[in-house]
Chain A
Amino acid sequence: MRSGFSNDDVELAATPSERMSSSELAAEWIKTQNRILAFICSLVNDFNEAEDLLQETAAKVFASVDRYDRSRLFLPWAIGIARHVVLDHRRRSSHDVHIFDHEIIDGLAEVFENVSDRSEFARQSLSKCLERVSPSVREVLRLRYEKNLTPTAIASQFGKPPGMVRMLLHRVRAQLRECIEQRFRAEGLQT
């Protein structure tokens, strides 16, 4: 059973001594926002929508700061709020309201709640690994991840088949994962 957020949790206000200060909350948020975003991205496959939901989650987290019990871990609590935000958004959404089954969502939440130092190390490693990427591939990554273009749109810009761009992105991501794993192993961290 997950140990994350539920509506009941929100209603239980923490006592003043347990209450987290704004600066502490901000520090916790910044440490964990990548994982929270990743969790949202596992449920919503559009970056812009996911980032809007991240901002909404941040707002809800702040709105609930006096209800946060600091004896609990922050990340599961925040992911619980993110889960609620995503599901609520989908319910309100006029178009595709479906998402993964609840057991899959719970399973993903559990994976992302698993606190480890990997996230920060992965982020730092990614910077190093990206240095090995050629300028032309970096440009494709930029179009995908900065401009939020799909492989089909990127392919049309370069006059190449979409399948070629999909394969390129697949390979680059696989190589980046491998590079990060190598750096994990080199540091003696568990992979």
Chain B
Amino acid sequence: MNEFQQLVDKWLDGEATPAERDLLNTYLKRDPSQLQNFAEQVELNSLLRTRHDVNGKVVGALTQAAHRLGDLCPVTESTAWRRRSTLLLGACLGAILAVMLTVTGVWWVSDHANPGFVGEAVPPDANSDRLVHSGQEIAAVSELAPSVGRVSRTFNVLWPSETRRWSVEDQLHRQDVIELSAGKIELLFDSGAMVALTGPAVLEIHSAFLVSLRSGTATARVENPESGLFRVLTPRTEIVDLGTEFGVRVDPESQDAEVVVFDGSVNLVPISDADGTHAKSRRLLNGEAVRITKSGDFQRVVSVDSSAYSLSDGNFSEGLRRPLVISQVADDRRDSASPKFYRIFHGGLEEDARAFVDRYHEWNGISEEGMPYFLRGADYVATFNDDKHGSPVITVFLSQPATLYVFLDKRIPTPDWVLESFENTGLYIGLDEHFPEIETAPLGRGPGQSVDHHHLVWKRVVKSPGPVQLGTLNIPLELRGSMYGIAAQPLRQNIAIRKRGPASSNN
């Protein structure tokens, strides 16, 4: 790269010093033919900036000016005009906004739909009476503005009083705020992003690619990341989707944000401090979860209650069918540098249930008869298959008396802690392995399909709620095998009381 281009790049990157600017000046003076070259590069640079104009400073420059100079619209020195100017202002600004809408409607769709959002068409200014007119225009613009998505599903939603009640197929627009006290609502954005919101929650829509989660829980899935980066703003951080499914929970009191990646990866960009300093962003991978606090710290979230995050399919419309059994999982190893989380699926153990947080493998019955009957509908924990060669000590917290199960790969020796405190049921559950990079190894659907390995089911009756410590697993590197699985069912006596009366002898 020659020196002239280096100087141009420094200019474009905002890093040119006064001395380098003077040198660039000299180059341009010496060879005026380079003016066109420089101008073209600057124009592309400003187009890129305008395309990322999240604050609407460029598109909003016109209306900002109209507001700042309201009584100059139209401008005249005539006293008569001045007297009439207040009355005419509304029409004047209306005309401008109408042009904005006409001309920039295309702009909004073609450019600002991806990425970023345009700020308010006209910034509100409560100090000016004249803005009453423009306020009406804003409402008109908002009504006529192109939609950025639609409501696709709702489930048992309770709406706070005096807020909009959304229905399936309602169109979503910029600046729409969705507020729900309870239940779930699913939104489909034109960007391809799908967002499931679980109440109580408040979400504001800025564009098809950008929303703000003010409080509550949202799960987002982006099917086609190539079309643009979907982002969720929270008070503490900005989550940039890099092709994934992720959950966000914002505490309404502390404003801390919990971010959970279920698939793919996201980038976390901390919101700048008041002094403008930029904390470091962080990549969060599949199976990792952190809490971002006011101080900007990333704290590991050890276990994640899957039912708290309404995925856009599967359990969207399902509630918890009984009191949870596994309330929490912890281990003795990881810190925030390795923020992996155990995923708890309440009542979620069924055919094709995802087995590990860091793999796509699924649990299945080893034959068409399905998995052992006592496991169906159990709470289970998706562990980390990467831990198989040296797992931490895992602690499972049971919220009620339960039968605790572990599934051990039959290819590996049974650890002593299992032999000592668990009972062999003599039944197996199958593991259907899937490696996305190998097209010839697709997942099977249903029991007995494409099962690759068998795990022996061991059980332990735990009559008192509380923590239960499980031992480690150390599969020698020369052996093949998978990490163990964990599941729990309420003790049969609890079910019997509800459904059939006296407890069975099993308990």
Contact = CB atoms under 8 A, between A and B. Distances in A.
A69 interface: no
A146 to B, nearest CB: 4
Main SS class of interface, B:
helix
A180 B242 CA distance: 25
Contacts of A37: 46, 49-50, 58
A126 B44 contact: yes
Nearest to A51: B57
Nearest to B92: A22
B16 A45 contact: yes
Interface of B: 1, 5, 9, 11-16, 18, 21-22, 24-25, 28-29, 32, 35-36, 38-54, 57-58, 60-62, 64-66, 68-69, 72-76, 92, 95-96, 98-100, 102-104, 107, 110-111, 114-116, 225-229, 240, 242-243, 267, 269, 278, 280-281
Question: Size range of the interface on A?
Answer: 35 or more
Contacts of B28: 100, 104, 107
7 contacts: A26-B99, A33-B62, A63-B75, A104-B28, A131-B226, A138-B228, A152-B15
Nearest to A151: B13
B47 A55 contact: no
A66 B13 contact: no
A41 B42 contact: yes
A62 B95 CA distance: 14
A57 to B, nearest CB: 8
A143 B104 CA distance: 25
B65 A62 contact: yes
Contacts of B96: 22-23, 25-26
Given A65-B74, A138-B229, A157-B280, A54 B57 contact: yes
Contact of B69 (A27, A62, A136): A62
Among B15, B51, B65, B111, chain A packs the most CB atoms within 10 A around the CB of B65
Contacts of A45: 11-12, 14, 16, 21
Contacts, number: 217
A50 B52 contact: no
Contact of B52 (A101, A103, A142): A142
A34 interface: yes
Given A38-B46, A131-B227, A150-B15, A26 B95 contact: yes
B41 A58 contact: no
B44 A170 contact: no
B68 A41 contact: no
A33 B61 contact: yes
A119 B111 CA distance: 14
The 3 closest A-B CB pairs, nearest first, are A58-B65, A146-B52, A23-B95
B242 A139 contact: yes
A29 B66 CA distance: 12
Given A38-B46, A63-B72, A123-B47, A58 B12 contact: no
B38 A101 contact: no
A149 interface: yes
B44 A180 contact: yes
Given A54-B57, A111-B39, A34 B29 contact: no
A167 B102 CA distance: 39
Contact of B14 (A23, A47, A58): A47
A86 B31 CA distance: 24
Contacts of A108: 35, 38-39
A160 to B, nearest CB: 12
Point out which of B61, B69, B111, B280 has the most chain A C-beta atoms below 10 A from its C-beta. B61
Interface string A90-128: 000000101011011001100110000001001110110
A119 B25 CA distance: 25
Interface string A140-168: 01111111111111001110000000100
